[in-house]
Structure 1
Amino acid sequence: MWDETQAYISMKTSLALFQQVPKELSDSQQQELARVVSKTQAIQQRVLSSDEAQQVVIDDAQLDKALAVLQQNFDSSQAYQQALEDNLLSPDALRQAIKNELSSEAVLALVCKDIQPVTEQEAQTFYNQHPEKFRQVARREAHHLLITVNEQFKENTPREAKRRAGELAKKVNPGNFEKLCERHSECPTAVNGGYLGMVEPGSLLPELDKALFNMQEKSFSSPILSSVGYHIVWCKKHVPEHCVSFAEAKAKIQSALLEQAQKRRQKQWLAKLFNQSPLN
Structure 2
Amino acid sequence: MDKQKRRYLTIKLATEKYKLNPEFLSSIQKATIEQEVDKLYKLQTGILASDKAQSVTVSNAHLMDAYFSCVQQFETEEQFYRSLKHQGITVEGLKFALKDELHCDMVLDLVASEIPQLDIEQAKAYYNKNRLEFSRARTWKMSQILITKNNEFVENTPDNAFARVTKISEEANVKNFADLAMRHSECPSALESGLLGWCEEGKLYPEITSALLSLPQGRVSKPIETELGFHLVLCHDEKPAYVATFEEVWPFLQEKHASRAKTYLQREWLERLVR
Instruction: Specify the TM-score bucket, using the shorter chain as the normaliser.
Output: 0.5 to 0.7
**1:28-39 maps to which residues of 2 (within 5 A)?**
29-39=29-39
Aligned counterparts of 1:83 and 1:8: Cα–Cα separation in 2:
12
Paired position in structure 1 for 2:189: 208
Distance 1:80 1:272, change over 3 A: same
Match in the other structure for 1:246? 246
Q: C-alpha distance in 2, partners of 1:141/1:80?
A: 46
Q: What is aligned with 2:170?
A: none
Q: Which has the larger radius of gyration?
A: 2
Instruction: Map Cα deviations across residues 79-129 of structure 1 (whole Å, 9 max, x no partner).
Output: 433432233111111111111001111111212222234354443333334
The residue aligned with 1:201 is none
Measured in 1, the distance between the counterparts of 2:40 and 2:253 equals 28
Other structure's SS at 2:115 match = coil
Matches within 5 A, 1:95-244: 95-136=95-136, 207-208=188-189, 211-212=195-196, 242-244=242-244
Name the residue aligned to 1:49. 49
Cα deviation 1:154-175 (Å, max 9, x = unaligned): xxxxxxxxxxxxxxxx9x9xxx
Counterpart of 1:92 in structure 2 is 92
1:59 is the counterpart of 2:43:
no
With over 3 angstroms needed to count, the CA separation of the structure-2 counterparts of 1:208 and 1:105, relative to structure 1, is: same
Q: 1:139 to 1:91 in 2, by over 3 A?
A: farther
1:193 aligns with none
Q: How high is the TM-score relative to the length of structure 2?
A: 0.57
Secondary structure in 1 matching 2:58: coil
Q: Any unmatched runs of 5+ in structure 1?
A: 143-169, 173-205, 219-234, 276-280
Aligned-CA RMSD value: 3.9
Distance 1:119 1:85, change over 3 A: farther
Gaps of 5+ in 2: 143-175, 179-186, 200-207, 219-234
Q: Which amino acid aligns with 2:94?
A: L
CA offsets, 1:52-96, max 9 Å, x none? 111111001111221233344445545433432233111111111
Q: Between Structure 1 and Structure 2, how many residues are aligned?
A: 200
What is the CA deviation profile of residues 202-242 of structure 1, one whole-angstrom value per residue up to 9, with x for unaligned ones?
Answer: xxxx7139851599989xxxxxxxxxxxxxxxx99766665
Task: Give the whole-Å Cα distance in 2 for the aligned partners of 1:29 and 1:136.
Answer: 43
Question: In the TM superposition, what is the alpha-carbon distance from 1:30 to its structure 2 partner?
Answer: 4.0
8 Å Cα contact 1:8/1:94 also seen in 2: yes
Q: Which amino acid aligns with 2:189?
A: L
The 1:271/1:129 distance shift into structure 2, 3 A limit, reads same
Cα 1:211–1:43 change in 2 (3 A) is same
- Measure how far apart 1:255 and its partner are: 1.7
Number of the residue aligned with 2:152: none
Cα 1:20/1:69, change in 2 over 3 Å: farther
The C-alpha deviation readout for 1:12-67, integer Å capped at 9, x for no partner, is 33333444433344555545433433332221111111121111110011112212
Distance in 1 (CA, whole Å) between partners of 2:99 and 2:111 is 19
Structure 1 residues 85 and 264: alpha-carbon distance in aligned structure 2, compared to 1, 3 A threshold: same
